[in-house]
Amino acid sequence: GIELIGLQLQVEAGKQPLPPLAKLLEPFRWLLRQGSIVLRQVRFAVTDSRFGQQPMEFELLQLRLVNTGSRHQLLVEGQLPAVMGGAFKLAADVIGQVEEPETWKGRSYLRGSAISLDMLQPWLVNLPMTLAGQADAELWLDIKNGQFEQMNGSLTARNLLHLVGGEDDADLGRRQL
């Protein structure tokens, strides 16, 4: 296997939609075929024009991928940038060809704490309201043929505000839930 400690990466994202996952994985095919990959103490800065020009610093405490034949297990734990929230964890256990996401079948888990809801707004462009506040979330996602088939989870929101679009009266448009 491969183990890397103390990496520092920089990523620039834009307004362009992400390409399909298979295309994103192409440069890493040889790496994904390894028996195991472990990254520890990784810091990466993401500059995304949707969130301003200041890089957001993510800290990965651990990324672990274990491949056993057609079974692939992933664990990612880390810290979101302070403006986005607290800790996060992503785990997945899938069967299929690692470099062909359309063959994946399995389950994934996502947990985030103190997630800043207003930071999610750029991805919620079709939502008829603007959210603010913080949330803790826990999601279980079933995957079949590389698609999310079913989702279960829990969400705890604090100081939740929503601004309803199109209402002129500020008192009517800004409500605490």
pLDDT per residue over 30-84, tens digit each?
Answer: 877 889 999 899 888 888 776 666 788 888 888 999 999 999 999 999 998 888 8
CB 117, CB 160: distance < 8 Å: yes
Tokens representing 170 are 């500020």
Confidence of residue 167 (pLDDT cuts 50, 70, 90): very low
Question: Between these two residues, 105 and 16, which has the higher pLDDT value?
Answer: 105
Q: What are the helix and strand counts (H, E) for the chain?
A: 3, 10
Q: Specify the pTM.
A: 0.75
**What pLDDT sits at residue 175?**
47
